[in-house]
Every structure is written in structure tokens, then in C-alpha cells.
Amino acid sequence: MQSTLLSKLHVGIIMDGNGRWATARGLTRLEGHHAGVEAIRRIIEAAPHQGIGTLTLYAFSSDNWRRPTAEVAGLMTLLRRYLANEVEMLARNGVRLSVIGRRDRLPDGLAQAIAAAEAETAGGETLALRIAIDYSARDAILHAAISLSGISHATRTDFARLVTGEPQPRDVDLVIRTSGEQRLSDFLLWESAYAELHFTERNWPDFDAQDLAVALASFHRRQRRFGGLTPHALEPAFGS
């Protein structure tokens, strides 16, 4: 990852409330997910102007497979279309896309679409966009632990590389969750050890650049301490 992006904020967003947004309007849940894609477009465009270098969006959790087959299929189709339709625009705007999570359970074509989108946007230097699909933070930590078993001297940095899949892992500064729910739902548990949390009642399809600015303004008013006492204590790297 470019060092310029690493020096900017890492924001994670739990994009919640598509279903409730749709139901309140007499629409289908899938129409809510479609409206959610519009919000994704808005936020990707706004993020680099608001000091964000890395943006991780929670699109589909490993527990979301529990939803009705038709909703899951609709979401997978939406994700595939999103990648196909958006990749050119992302590349043009310097967005480097990567997908975190398992790929072996995705329907035919989606894993290939992900790989193609990652390759096509690999040169992006304006925003590192990470989309979490079939993602579980606990699984990511578990698999990192399994791959290290028998090794007695791994640093936090070594471990974080395995958990995050990033050569230069970046802690999350701010987690935003929409729709009024106040939980993490297995999102970036390792990386968010010292993240600030921002919860908003806004459902994801309504979330816009102004809402993002409000979340960041709240973040900038927080006093981060990282266990120390000085307000400007250096952020602990993953290294121990």
C-alpha cells in the first residue's frame, strides 16, 4: 500500500439498514440493496476529500449466508454487477480495490470478477477500497492462528499480516455503523482494537457525504490515548 495512503485515516463502515429502508417504502429488500449501491458510490467519491486513505466496507458477512436463498442470490448478483460496472470508474479515479474474506464459497464468476477488478485497479493511489465479502473477523483471526501454529516467536505485525492479508496492515481509526444498531457483527475485530466508534440512525441507502463528514467531525473531537495519558500519544503499530 502507498505510504501516502497509510498516513491517512482508515475508516470501516458497517453498511446496515438496507432492508428496513426498503420495507419502510413498500419496496423489496433487494431494492434496498440496490439503493445501498448508490450510497457506496457517493461515499467512495467523498472519502478521499475527507482525509480517508483506506475505506473498508462490510458488504456481506459470513453469517449472511443464513438469509433466504433468494436474497443471498440477489446480493451476489448485485456484487458481480457492481464489480463489472464500476471497475473502470474506480480505476479512472485512482481507487485501488481489494476484497477481503473467503472466495471459495462465492458463486461462479464472482471470484473471477474480483480478481479482475483487483488487477485492473492495482495502480490506484487515491483511495484503498477494501470490500468485505463472505467476511468473518473471527475466521480471519482463527486462520492466522492456525497458520502460525508451532511458531513460538511471531510479532503482532507478523500476525496482523496474516489476519488482514495486507503486507502493511493499517489499524482502523473509525468504525461507522448505520441504521441505529450498536454492535460489530464480526467486523474487523483485530484491526479495530483502538478504533473510535460512530453509530448513526441513518439507514445505509440514505447515508451521504454530509453524514460521513459528521462522523469524521465527531472522530476528530475524540481524544485518542492508546492506553497512555497524553492526547497525542503515538498510535501503537501492529509491531510489539
User: Between 36 and 124, whose beta carbon lies closer to ligand IPE?
Assistant: 36
Query: Minimum distance from CB of 149 to ligand IPE (Å)?
Result: 29
Please name the helix (run of DSSP H) or strand (run of DSSP E) that holds residue 196, with its range, or none. strand 196-199
Instruction: Compute CA distances 207 → 89, 132, 148, 183, 218, whole Å.
Output: 21, 19, 40, 18, 16
CB of 152 to ligand IPE, least distance (A): 36
Q: Which of 139, 141, 120 is nearest to 129 (CA)?
A: 120
Q: 3 to 62, contacts with Mg ion by CB under 5 A? A: 16
Distant-in-sequence, close-in-space partners of 118: CB < 8 Å, separation ≥ 6: 97, 98, 99
Q: What is the DSSP letter of 80?
A: H
User: Would you count residue 186 as binding Mg ion (CB under 5 A)?
Assistant: no
# residues near Mg ion by CB under 5 A: 1
Q: Is 86 in the site for Mg ion (CB under 5 A)?
A: no
In whole angstroms, give the CA distance from residue 56 to residue 184: 14
Q: Which residue has the cell 453524514?
A: 211
Q: Find which of Mg ion, ligand IPE, none residue 58 binds, CB within 5 to 8 Å per kind.
A: ligand IPE
Q: How far is the CB of 16 from ligand IPE (least distance, A)?
A: 5
Pairing of strands 95-100, 52-61: unpaired
Q: Which is nearer to Mg ion, 16 or 31 (CB)?
A: 16
Select 16 or 86, whichever has its Cβ closest to Mg ion: 16
Which residues belong to the active site?
A: 16, 64
Of all residues in the shown chain, the one whose CB is closest to Mg ion is 16
Query: Which amino acid would we find at residue 143?
Result: H
The three three-digit cell numbers of residue 123, written as one number: 495502480
Which of 16, 211 has the CB closer to Mg ion? Answer: 16
Cell matching residue 97: 480495490
CA distance 190 to 177: 17
Query: Closest separation between CB of residue 63 and ligand IPE, Å?
Result: 6
Query: Residues in the site for ligand IPE, rule: CB under 6 A?
Result: 14-20, 58-61, 64, 75, 179, 181, 183, 185
Picked from Mg ion, ligand IPE, none, the partner binding residue 14 (CB below 5 to 8 A depending on kind) is: ligand IPE
| Contacts to Mg ion by CB under 5 A | 16
